[in-house]
A = this chain, B = another copy of it.
Amino acid sequence: MTARQLTQAILAKRSFLCVGLDTDLRKTPECLRDAEDPQFSFNKAIIDATAPYTVCYKPNLAFYEENGARGWESFERTCRYIRENHPDIFIIADAKRGDIGNTSGMYARAFFEQGSVDAVTLSPYMGRDTVEPFLRYAGKWAVILALTSNPSADDFETLPLADGWMLYETVLETASGWGTVDNTMFVVGATKSEMLSSVRRIVPDHFLLVPGVGAQGGSLEEVARHGMNAGCGLLVNSSRAIIYADGTASFAATAGTKAREVQQEMDALLERFL
């Protein structure tokens, strides 16, 4: 998928919502506990209910790896289900991988050949070697951490460098030169929405994946105001506020309602800022 195709999907659905599939077996409703594959069953119900309102799903690998090989199987089934039933929806494996060249190539194969996702989140710490193998796949994306939404993001990401920039700004500047706007995206947390303007000065044309709206407290309006570009350029993730809005047997219907509410807010913001 190209950046232009992603923009077209956003305009068609009037939504730049990414639903995070952080599927925790401890939080899935009672009625699913005896299913043969409760993680997949939960995801399938959530996907069926939210697909009309979302352009992207983002399974978080930690929640699957916690269940070992069985969890990997649930992750793979989930991705196949999305691919087969909603081929227009972008899939990001939130894996935050990062390793040297030959190992990074293995991870790229794991997600793009063995798996069927469109994009993988990557940590930039080890530099270009980490990202390059992911850029060799036509139509696939590297989603690189820049400025995250967690409390300790300030430990290193915002450290001032000798040249006056902060580390995350140099990551944006340097890493944006490795690929193109059609295969590279950056993670910028919504809890730092005031910093989105400085991010946009460095990477005006790239898509940004924005977590931290909802449970983590970021404002969708502020994100749109400071972060939207001519092609929208935003995928805003919500996980818990949608998938765990309701812990009863009607969890999927409620998730659909919540996703629709976010989509309607996004429709208005696209009208206003695009």
Cβ–Cβ contact A167 & B159, under 8 A:
yes
A30 to B127, CA, bound (A): 36
Given contacts A69-B72, A96-B98, A156-B171, contact A62 B104 (CB under 8 A): yes
Given contacts A69-B76, A107-B65, A170-B156, contact A123 B98 (CB under 8 A): yes
Given contacts A123-B125, A152-B126, contact A106 B157 (CB under 8 A): no
- A3 adjacent to chain B (CB < 8 Å): no
Complex copy number for this chain = 2
Cβ–Cβ contact B115 & A62, under 8 A:
no
Q: Quick one: which of B125, B151, B174 contacts A125, CB cutoff 8 A?
A: B125
Tally chain A residues at the interface, Cβ within 8 Å. 57
Given contacts A72-B72, A114-B67, contact A156 B103 (CB under 8 A): no
Surface stretch bound by B, among A142-150, A197-205, A225-233, A247-255: A142-150
- A154 adjacent to chain B (CB < 8 Å): yes
Q: Can you give 12 A-B contacts (C-beta < 8 A)?
A: A62-B104, A62-B107, A63-B106, A68-B110, A72-B72, A124-B125, A125-B157, A127-B155, A127-B157, A128-B152, A130-B152, A160-B162
Residues of A that sit less than 8 Å from B by CB? 22, 24, 60, 62-63, 65-73, 76, 96-101, 103-104, 106-107, 109-110, 114-115, 123-130, 145, 148-157, 159-162, 164, 167, 170-171, 174
